[in-house]
Amino acid sequence: MDDILAEEFIALQQSGALENYLLLDVREPLEFHTHNIGGINIPLGKLQNLIDEEEIDFDTEQTIIVICQRGLRSKTAKSILNQNGFKNVRNLIGGLLKLRQI
């Protein structure tokens, strides 16, 4: 699935359609608690282990938008999720920094 631009993300947020997506923030907990826009926080370093241990119960068909500070960790998380059978994963290009610039 294609990645998502900050402008598209904001449009989803403003329209209320973002509620139809699972928002996965892969930053560290301190980063998440300092500035979060909602969603679930699972740090990138723990993601694969939680999948392996079957502690993540996301629907593999649900659309997931993965976010981080700059879009790099979320890009890696998208790959991990795709490799583990999650089909509808989108990376927020530019991350939260890009959202703040708009």
Does 93 map to a domain? no
Q: Note down the domain range covering 16.
A: 6-84
pTM of the model: 0.95
The number of folded domains in the chain is 1
Distance in angstroms (rounded) separating the CA atoms of residues 102 and 83? 32
Residue 61, SS3 per DSSP: coil
Total Cβ atoms within 10 A of residue 45: 10
| 97 within domain boundaries | no
- pLDDT at residue number 57: 87
- Structural domain includes residue 56: yes
How many whole angstroms separate alpha carbon 29 and alpha carbon 31?
5
**CATH code, domain with 46:** 3.40.250.10
95 domain-assigned = no
Q: Does residue 92 lie within any of the structural domains?
A: no
Per-residue pLDDT of the chain (102 residues; tens, 9 = 90+): 799 999 999 999 999 999 999 999 999 999 999 999 999 999 999 999 999 999 998 999 999 999 999 999 999 999 999 999 999 999 999 999 999 998
pLDDT of residue 1: 79
